[in-house]
A = this chain, B = another copy of it.
Amino acid sequence: MQELTDEQWMQRALEQARHGLGLTSPNPPVGAVIVRNNQVLGEGFHEKAGEAHAERRAIADAYARGNGHLLPGSTIYITLEPCSSVGRTGACTTAIIEEKIGRVVYGSTDPDMRHQGRADALLEAAGVSVCPGVLKDACDRFLRSWFHAVMTGRPWVTAKVATTLDGRMTRRQKFWLSGVDTLRYAHQLRLESDAILIGGNTLRTDDPALTIRTPLQTPSPRKKQPWRIVLTSNLLSLPPQARLFTDEYHKRTLVWEDVKDFRVLLNELYTRYGIVNLMLECGGRLLRRFLEDGLVNEWMQSISPMIGAGPDYVVPGDFLPDEFIFQREELIECGRDIIIRGIL
Q: Which residues of A contact B (CB under 8 A)?
A: 163, 165-168, 171-172, 288, 291, 299, 301, 303, 305-311, 313-315, 317-320, 322-328, 331, 333, 336, 338, 340, 342, 344
Closest 6 CB pairs of A and B: A167-B167, A308-B320, A305-B326, A307-B324, A166-B314, A166-B315
Contact A307 B172 (CB under 8 A): no
Across the interface, A306 reaches (CB within 8 A) one of B165, B303, B310, B323, namely B323
- Interface CB pairs A-B, < 8 A, 7: A166-B167, A167-B313, A303-B340, A307-B324, A309-B323, A331-B331, A331-B333
Contact B319 A307 (CB under 8 A): no
Which residues of B sit under 8 angstroms from A338, Cβ to Cβ?
328, 331, 338, 340
A315 to B311, CA, bound (A): 10
A311 to chain B minimum Cβ distance, whole angstroms, is: 5
A325 to chain B minimum Cβ distance, whole angstroms, is: 6
Contact A308 B331 (CB under 8 A): no
Contact A324:B340 (CB < 8 A) given known A163-B167, A168-B167, A313-B167: no
Contact A308:B333 (CB < 8 A) given known A167-B163, A168-B167, A340-B338: no
A255 to chain B minimum Cβ distance, whole angstroms, is: 28
Contact B323 A171 (CB under 8 A): yes
A288 to B166, CA, bound (A): 11
Contact A313 B313 (CB under 8 A): yes
Given A308-B320, A308-B322, 17 new contacts (CB under 8 A): A165-B314, A166-B315, A167-B313, A167-B314, A172-B319, A288-B308, A291-B308, A305-B326, A305-B327, A306-B323, A306-B325, A307-B314, A307-B320, A307-B324, A331-B331, A331-B333, A338-B340
Which residues of B sit under 8 angstroms from A167, Cβ to Cβ?
163, 165-168, 313-314
